[in-house]
Structure 1
Amino acid sequence: MGDVAAGGAAAGVLVWLIALSAFDIRHRRLPNVLTLPGAAVILVAATVVGHGGPALLGATALFAVYVTVHLFSPGSLGAGDVKLAIGLGALTGAYGADVWVVAALGASLMTGALALCRRLQGAGPDVPHGPSMCLAAGTALGLAALA
């Protein structure tokens, strides 16, 4: 992929992550119109550049983790988070298992830290998980780019 195309792809991903985060913060939900097409575009793009296998594996693995948590505790993780896991799992998986793990663990740690801070402030621990997922994925990709 050329520098211009890579820069455009990175900008597109950044806009997608910001839109998802803003929507989740504002409405406390992640809409299908953002999660599902984003996942499809990422999987197709990863396949075109020769990373389809790792992207599909990453999407499947993160979806499996999230759907399991959602099924056992639907109040702690929404269906939108489960659908977002497909796209973010594909995105980070395309860059390698280490990037995938950093993003997956980072999201949970960030949401947990935010919930703890809210609880310590006397507020309820309810925080949207989507922004943490997006920030963790973006950070993991940024760190991979610097390496």
Structure 2
Amino acid sequence: MTALLAAECGVLGLLIGSFLNVVVWRVPRGESVVSPGSHCPSCGDPVRPRDNIPVLSWLLLRGRCRSCAQPISVRYPLVEAGTGALFALTAAWAGLDWTLPAFLYLAAITVALALIDLDVRRLPNAIVLPSYPVALLLLLLPAALDGRWDDLLRAVLAAVVLYALFFALAVAKPGGMGFGDVKLAGVVGLYLGWLGWPQVAVGAFLGFVLGGVAGGVMIAARRATRRSALPYGPFMLLGAALAVGAGGSLFDGYLSLLGA
């Protein structure tokens, strides 16, 4: 059952990944994600339905537009395949549980926001702010149907805690962290708080560690300086993903090292 669920969610992820390619390109530019339909970025011709099959169409067309033969970035199938894999992993982790829709939504916005932040150094309000009510509504399902009201309350409290923490950091060091990161921290707090306070601590800590390591590597490679502004959103989201998957184990391992 778990393998079948993961496969089904993987296929769903491929389709969602195709849509996320549109989101990543259009949302930062203030364009509609609905109209016009998918089209070639070079010649503007609409993409035919048979050429809009995730991953497969790109492979069959050898990465080129059918109309103008201009190359189509390999990022498109990679985003589709990556989203499919992330959805499958999420389903394998959550199983057939009422929390699954909520965490699939988290997987989708993780892909979109990470790529947008890398591209334009911004976390659009158009995605982050609606994620608060969407996440709350999706987490309300397991809270109501499985009686997990304590988990929902902890999720809300964790959202407030992480939002306040990141807000304080942004105010204390202007320019070091954007307010897009502050708003995203609240969304991350909702999800990690649902799982437990150890996941909240691990997710927040890993985000800072991963961001610091990436910055150090870029400085060592002379691709950045100590004053360079690096997007923090992808590292926050990666830290959250690791905390979702293994936050409890990592926290217990840390305590064991301390002899607690």
Using structure 1 for the length normalisation, give the TM-score: 0.90
1:127 and 2:220 aligned: no
Secondary structure of the structure 2 residue equivalent to 1:76: coil
Counterpart residue number, 1:105: 205
Summarize the Cα distance change of 1:126–1:2 in structure 2 as closer, same or farther, 3 Å threshold.
Answer: closer
Larger Rg: 2
Gaps of at least 5 residues in structure 1 are: none
Distance 2:206 2:109 in 1: 19
Deviation, structure 1 residue 42:
1.6
1:19 is matched with which residue: 95, 105, 112? 112
Deviation, structure 1 residue 127:
1.5
1:28 and 2:121 aligned: yes
Gaps of at least 5 residues in structure 2 are: 1-93, 144-150, 251-260
Percent identical residues? 29
Deviation, structure 1 residue 82:
0.3
Deviation per CA, 1:12-63, whole angstroms, max 9, x where unpaired?
Answer: 2211111010010001010001111112222233334223201111100100
Deviation, structure 1 residue 139:
1.1
What is the one-letter code of the residue matched to 2:241? Answer: G
1:58 and 2:161 aligned: no
Q: How does 1:62-101 map to 2 (within 5 A)?
A: 62-101=162-201
Greater helix percent: which structure?
A: 1
Distance 1:17 1:137 in 2: 9
Counterpart residue number, 1:46: 139
Distance 1:46 1:6 in 2: 6
How many residue pairs were aligned?
147
Using structure 2 for the length normalisation, give the TM-score: 0.52
Distance 1:43 1:135 in 2: 21
Is the 2:199–2:248 contact (alpha carbons within 8 Å) kept by the matching residues of 1?
no
Distance 1:102 1:17 in 2: 17
Distance 2:154 2:139 in 1: 9
Distance 2:114 2:172 in 1: 24
Deviation, structure 1 residue 108:
0.4
Distance 1:12 1:87 in 2: 11
What is the one-letter code of the residue matched to 2:216? Answer: L
Higher relative contact order (CA 8 A, sep 6+): 1
Secondary structure of the structure 2 residue equivalent to 1:108: helix
Distance 1:46 1:95 in 2: 11
